Structures are given as C-alpha cells and as structure tokens.
Amino acid sequence: MSRTQRQELDARLRHAPQPSAPATIEEMRAGFAALMATFPLRADVTRTPATLAERPAVIVEPAARTAGPGTILYFHGGSFALGSPDTAMALTADLVARAGVRAISLDYRLAPEHPFPAAIEDCVRAYAALLEGGSDPSQIVFAGDSAGGGLSVTTCLAARDAGLPMPAGVVAFSPGLDHTRTGTSMRTKEEADPFFTMAGMEQTGRLYLAGQDPRQPLLVPAVLADLSGLPPLLLQVGTHEMLLDDAVRLAERARAAEVDVILDVTAGVPHVFQAYAGTLEEADQALDRAALFIRQRLASGA
C-alpha cells in the first residue's frame, strides 16, 4: 500500500548519513550531483547536447513523440546555485517519456558567480530563441523542479513584461517562489521536511541575492508579482515541505488573477517527490497527471 511507501521513504531520508557541512560551493555542487546521480535514468529517452541562446542545454527525446511536435522547456533545481540539466535528468526523462514530447533542459547560470537575475535572463533568452527559431508559443510548456519550478513561473513573468507571448502552460514541481521566506510552512513544516532547514535555505539564498533586496516580484512571485495573463499552471507539492505555502499562495493569487491553476497536493511526501517514481506510487501518479496536463496544453494550441 502506498501509505507504507510514503512512510518508508520518509524514514529512509531521515536516516541517511549526514555529510559534514561542505566548505565550498564546488563541494556543495559535487555533493548535489552525487546525490542526484543515485536516481535511475530510464533508458527509453535519448539525450543530445545542444546550445540554446549561447547556453549549454540538453535535448531529451522520448522514444515516441505521442504528443506531437511540442517542446517542454525544462529548468532544473538546485537552489539557484547548484545543479545542471544532468542532475535533473532522471526526472526530466520520466516526464518526457510519459508526456510523449521532447524537452530542452537549460544549463542556466548559477549563483554565486551569477546572482539574481542572471538565471531568469538566461531562461527568457532561451525561450525567445525557441520562438525566433520558429516554435509556436502554443507548442511550448515550461516545467521545472524546486528552484527550476520557480524559474518556470518567473520566466513567464519576465517574458510577459518583455512583450513575448505566453507559452501554453507551466508545470512546477515543489517550486520555490518566495525569497523572503514568509510562508507559514517555513516554520510549521521545518520538522516534517527531511531536506531543507531554514539555515540551509538562507545560505543558498544569500548566494542568489548577493546583497539585493528580496522584496521584488521576480524574487517573491508568490506574494508580490502581478500574475495576470499567465498561462494555465499546474503546481504539485507535498505536505512535508517547507515550500508548501509558496505553491499555495501562488495558486491563491493566480485564482484571483483569473489564471487557470491546479494546486495538486500530496500528503506526507517530501520536496520533489516525483523523483521517487518507481518506488513511490504517488510519484508515478503525479507525473502521469503532469503528463496529461502537458498534452492538454499542447492540444489546446494545436
């Protein structure tokens, strides 16, 4: 039974050996890459290195493009300071295979070398490059996890403000949407969250902010951004997450802005639980719901 799977996963995460605090950003990146490499990569996708708007990227193709010629523009997680298309590849590939549509996963610039708003600039440029290359915006869906889930939303906002057309939809897994960390779940879920701590979030947050005032719409989209005109949103989040209220508050304000929004909450699962597909039934089912959402968004624009 899946209730058991949720509890086993929680116990496993809590009893994982805790490495000593890494001293450098390079050590943090290596540790994150090693952690993410433990997630098995499915064999039925092909990966091709590419360049998009002068940034490295990886094109991820399903065995069968059952959803037609659309594109998922994917943004990996890693607190804006860690990660790459490779660290999110198992999850990206799983989404691609289920949706039957290719993804392009962008290697956007990271903090501290490149603080806010470098990542968003790269993501908007990548989207603009797809449009300039002839892609119809109705055939593009943004998706991302964690910090990348946040980028899937802020890239829409920045693209809209730059006069670009909106993509067909946004899928955000456990998005980070508030650099002021004011969500109630930041306190109420700190015990339940097996991954994050307030101290850890503040550490990576400082790298991304680099002394800038966080009270800006692109740093706090869950609270400060004008969401009008955004395409349909699918937000998936677990209740064992300090970031729960980031998604909850964005959904609330999206409804008020007359934006279609699905707030899909799974109880008792951690941050980006979709990564546990294959061992956690809720993960497989959440990814299948995300795949249906993507196919529906691409079909609406076809």
**Is residue 300 part of the contact set for its own copies (CB under 8 A)?**
yes
Least distance to its own copies from the beta carbon of 268, Å? 6
**262 belongs to the binding site for its own copies (CB under 8 A):** yes
Interaction between residue 293 and its own copies (CB under 8 A): yes
**Selected range binding its own copies among 100-108, 148-156, 216-224, 282-290, rule: CB under 8 A:** 282-290
Q: How far apart are CA 240 and CA 194, in angstroms?
A: 8
Minimum distance from residue 282 beta carbon to its own copies (Å): 8
Active site annotation includes 146: yes
d(CA 189, CA 242): 5
Nearest to its own copies of 208, 293 (CB atom): 293
Choice between 212 and 300, CB closer to its own copies? 300
Window of 24-32, 34-42, 202-210, 253-261 that interacts with its own copies by CB under 8 A: 253-261
- The residues in 165-224 that bind its own copies, with binding defined as CB under 8 A, are none
Concerning whether 241 is annotated as a catalytic residue, the answer is yes
Which residue in 192, 199, 116, 183 sits closest to 151, CA to CA?
A: 116
**Single residue of 55, 65, 109, 289 touching its own copies by CB under 8 A:** 289
259 interacts with its own copies by CB under 8 A = yes
The secondary structure of the chain as a DSSP string is -HHHHHHHHHHHHHTSPPPPPPSSHHHHHHHHHHHHTTSPPPSSEEEEEEEETTEEEEEEEESS-TT-S-EEEEE--STTTS--TTTTHHHHHHHHHHHTSEEEEE----TTTS-TTHHHHHHHHHHHHHHHTT--GGGEEEEEETHHHHHHHHHHHHHHHTTPPP-SEEEEES----TT---THHHHTTTT-SS--HHHHHHHHHHHHTT--S-STTT-HHHHS--TTPPPEEEEEESS-TTHHHHHHHHHHHHHTT--EEEEEETT--TTGGGGTTT-HHHHHHHHHHHHHHHHHHHHH-
Nearer residue to its own copies within complex by CB, 119 or 259:
259
Please give the size of the binding site for its own copies, defined by CB under 8 A: 28
Q: Does 242 bind its own copies (CB under 8 A)?
A: no
Residue 250 structure tokens? 């964005």
Q: Is 11 in the site for its own copies (CB under 8 A)?
A: no
5 lies in the site for its own copies, by CB under 8 A: no
Q: Which of 210, 215, 258, 278 is in the footprint of its own copies by CB under 8 A? A: 258
Work out whether 50 is an interface residue with its own copies (CB under 8 A). no
Which two three-digit tokens encode residue 156? 């829409």
Please state, in angstroms and rounded to a whole number, the distance separating the CA atoms of residues 253 and 177.
Answer: 12
In the complex, minimum distance from the CB of residue 25 to its own copies, in angstroms, rounded to a whole number: 35
Give the residue, chosen from 267, 278, 279, 302, that forms a contact with its own copies under the rule CB under 8 A. 267
Catalytic residue among 146, 152, 174, 185: 146
Which residues are part of the catalytic machinery?
A: 146, 241, 271
Binding site for its own copies (CB under 8 A): 2, 239, 244, 248, 251-252, 254-255, 258-268, 281-282, 285, 288-289, 292-293, 296, 300
